Amino acid sequence: MKTVRLTTSQALVRYLANQFIEVNGETVPYFAGVWAIFGHGNVAGLGEALYQNLDELPSFRAHNEQGMAHAAIAFAKANFRRRAMACTTSIGPGATNLITAAALAHVNRLPVLFLPGDVFASRRPDPVLQQIEDFEDGTASANDCFRPVSRYFDRITRPSQILSALPRTMAVFTDPASCGPVCLSICQDVQSEAFDFPEAFFEPKTWRIRAPEPDALELDALVDALQSAKRPLMVAGGGVLYSGASDALMQFAERCAIPVVETQAGKSALPSSHPMNLGAIGVTGTEPANAAAAEADLIIGIGTRLQDFTTGSRKLFTDDRRKFFQVNVGAYDATKHSAVPVVGDARKVLERLDDATLQTLNVDTGWTKRNAERVRDWTASVDEAFRDKGTNLPSYAEIVGAVDSASDDSAVVLCAAGTLPGELHKLWRPEQPGGYHMEYGYSCMGYEIAGGIGAKMAMPDREIFVMVGDGSYLMLNSEIATSVMMGVKLTIILLDSGGFSCIDRLQRSTGSESFNNQLEDSWHTEMPTIDFAAHAQSLGAISETVSTISELKAALHRARSAPKTVLISMKVDPDGTTDLGGFWWDVAVPEVSPSEKVQSAFEDYARTVRSPSKDS
């Protein structure tokens, strides 16, 4: 057996650079690059190896470890999990700064490779700088925090261990059911140790993402249910996009006249203008979608994990008379809500359904007509919500409408947390798959700008509109400088509501007083005056502040031809949300309180919890 003597880091980098994947018939590198912030735990080992292989595996520098991980995750999401990136940090705070991003990737089932430095395997300098000491476990380090938020975790204490760890990593990334983050915690002395690695280990390998066929009996059960249904409804989740099933979903919906509703992760699976698309479902759903869900006698979830916003905290799908099927590549998700499982790839299942004998399908024409009428009414209501009312502070809908009017069919809106996910899920009108990029599995504030970089790297020909609230912006904005440095242009629309307005409204809705969410309701001796445009300009962006919708539209027009990242700051009415659509969400109210308003809110809450369903 031929061998080559390399350090662990050199071998790891060489292996990553030789992994490929087929995307739309073309073989491309699976790893698009490595985000790196160096420190004493990785600069000498992985840093040297990355420098020696820049042509084969590009390295990128960010300003915050969590930010660069968000960029890597967004890249994978925008590529529908077909490609990924890696992130390396030092031991200590650099490593633990990745934990939040690891949890985000785990919740959203997205591939990203974390390569944090770790303690010395030899324990010569024990404790080493930044080492967390466990008084009862000498093998523990801070990187053990990655264990519950990784699909696969391994601590590399000998060079030879990567011979098994790296293929396992690729197996996780390319398995649609187990896909998620991987952490290889590499002891910093081991990074620089040499070993005689088999040359065959570095042979180029092309991976293919598995697309399992459904079980015949499970598929037959779904066909039987469809043939007896009069009001069937399909719930499209992120799995539709990840399996490349948008066309199959469209064809099946058209042929069988079955309407489709979309989760936060599944939005853009169908064009928003498609007649079978009833829009967003659940807590942040549209009136046509939630009305159809209440009336459906058969619900078919396709590639959705049925998060509580989708199900209205389990109040939306409560009719015992309806049948409920879950099509999912993972058995874990396919059996949720006591659904009848159909375990298989979303595209394969839809194609098999389309091939099945469904001539006896008898969808209620009256229900179809009601759905179409509801969509027409909803579209008119959204158009009215988008209309510039000329008020002192515009609503969220007016701002979303301005961005919508400035975008073309290929545009992408990207967001993560706060008020905007609810408004965008209902109101944004994507026409192409991936045109709606929402991180709402973990709802992580700070994802937006860094995520915009990853999305733009994945889709360089599509315009990325990053919509972010002032609260999220203040949490993590440093990657504006990274976007400028790398020439990755974003159009950032910052909505200044004076604090955490989403949670402030939630706080008041449960009977509490406004407290510690808006800046004006927080402990302070002086209210800060924050010039967001000036701040973004200091990071290298082109920026401006606007105060009216017409000014916003003009600024968006200028941004289109700008040579680099643009930030447009605008104040918004913190209570100016859309009353359209929506559904109940379970937020527990204190059972005992001296406040009469809280007592009243609890009584309403208790009645709702006891009721079999809640439709608003």
What are the beta bridge partners of residue 496?
571
Q: What is the mean pLDDT of residues 535-561?
A: 97
Conformation bin of residue 244: beta by default, left when phi > 0, alpha when psi is -120 to 50: left
Predicted confidence at residue 611, as pLDDT, reads 82
Average of per-residue pLDDT values in the chain: 95
Rg from Cα positions in the chain: 25
Would you place residue 375 in the very low, low, confident or very high pLDDT band (cuts 50, 70, 90)? very high
Residue count of the chain: 616
Q: In this predicted model, what pLDDT tens digit does every residue of 7-54 receive, in sequence order?
A: 999 999 999 999 999 988 899 999 999 999 999 999 999 999 999 999
What's 273's DSSP letter? T
How far, CA to CA in Å, does 446 sit from each of 104, 111, 452, 571?
A: 11, 19, 11, 19
Predicted confidence at residue 244, as pLDDT, reads 96
Contacts 24+ apart (CB under 8 A), 223-226: 223/353, 223/356, 223/357, 223/358, 225/298, 225/323, 225/325, 225/340, 226/256, 226/298, 226/353, 226/358, 226/361
3-state DSSP assignment of residue 99: helix
3-state DSSP assignment of residue 199: helix
Residue 523 has pLDDT above 80, yes or no: yes
Which residue type, as a one-letter code, is found at position 560? R
% pLDDT > 70, the chain: 99
Q: In this predicted model, what pLDDT tens digit does every residue of 177-236 receive, in sequence order?
A: 999 999 999 999 999 999 999 999 999 999 999 999 999 999 999 999 999 999 999 999
Taking alpha carbons only, the member of 234, 214, 242, 209 closest to residue 109 is: 242
Contact 179, 109 (CB under 8 A): yes
Predicted confidence at residue 481, as pLDDT, reads 98
- Mapped to the 3 state alphabet, what secondary structure does 474-530 carry? HHCCCHHHHHHHHCCCCEEEEEECCECHHHHHHHHHCCCCCCCCEHHHCCCCCCCCC
Q: What is the mean pLDDT of residues 433-439?
A: 97
Would you place residue 616 in the very low, low, confident or very high pLDDT band (cuts 50, 70, 90)? very low
Angle at 535 between CA 534 and CA 539, to 5 degrees: 115
The DSSP annotation for 216-262 comes to: HHHHHHHHHHHHH-SSEEEEE-HHHHHTT-HHHHHHHHHHHT--EEE
Burial grade of 316 (CB within 10 A; 0-12, 13-18, 19 or more): buried
Pick the residue with more confidence: 338 or 99?
99
Phi, psi of 26 (to 5 degrees): -115, 135
The DSSP annotation for 183-197 comes to: EEEEEHHHHT-EEEE
Q: What is the mean pLDDT of residues 55-75?
A: 97
What are the beta bridge partners of residue 156?
186
Taking alpha carbons only, the member of 176, 287, 188 closest to residue 237 is: 176
Q: In sequence order, what are the residues at sequence separation of 6 or more whose Cβ sits closer than 8 angstroms to the Cβ of residue 436?
A: 267, 268, 412, 413, 424, 428, 430
Residue 252 has pLDDT above 90, yes or no: yes
The DSSP annotation for 552-604 comes to: HHHHHHHHHT-SS-EEEEEE--TT----SS------PPPSS-S-HHHHHHHHH
Structure token digits, residue 561: 């031809």
Q: How many CB atoms lie within 10 A of CB 587?
A: 12
Predicted confidence at residue 191, as pLDDT, reads 97
Q: What is the mean pLDDT of residues 499-508?
A: 92
Residue 358 has pLDDT above 80, yes or no: no
Would you place residue 360 in the very low, low, confident or very high pLDDT band (cuts 50, 70, 90)? low
Which residue type, as a one-letter code, is found at position 590? P
Would you place residue 238 in the very low, low, confident or very high pLDDT band (cuts 50, 70, 90)? very high
The DSSP annotation for 28-76 comes to: EESEEEEEE---TTTTTTHHHHHHHTTTTS-EE--S-HHHHHHHHHHHH
Would you place residue 361 in the very low, low, confident or very high pLDDT band (cuts 50, 70, 90)? confident
Predicted confidence at residue 614, as pLDDT, reads 56
Structure token digits, residue 244: 């490349």
Q: What is the mean pLDDT of residues 528-532?
A: 94
Cα–Cα distance measured from residue 472 to residue 445, given in angstroms and rounded to the nearest whole number: 5
Which residue type, as a one-letter code, is found at position 301? G
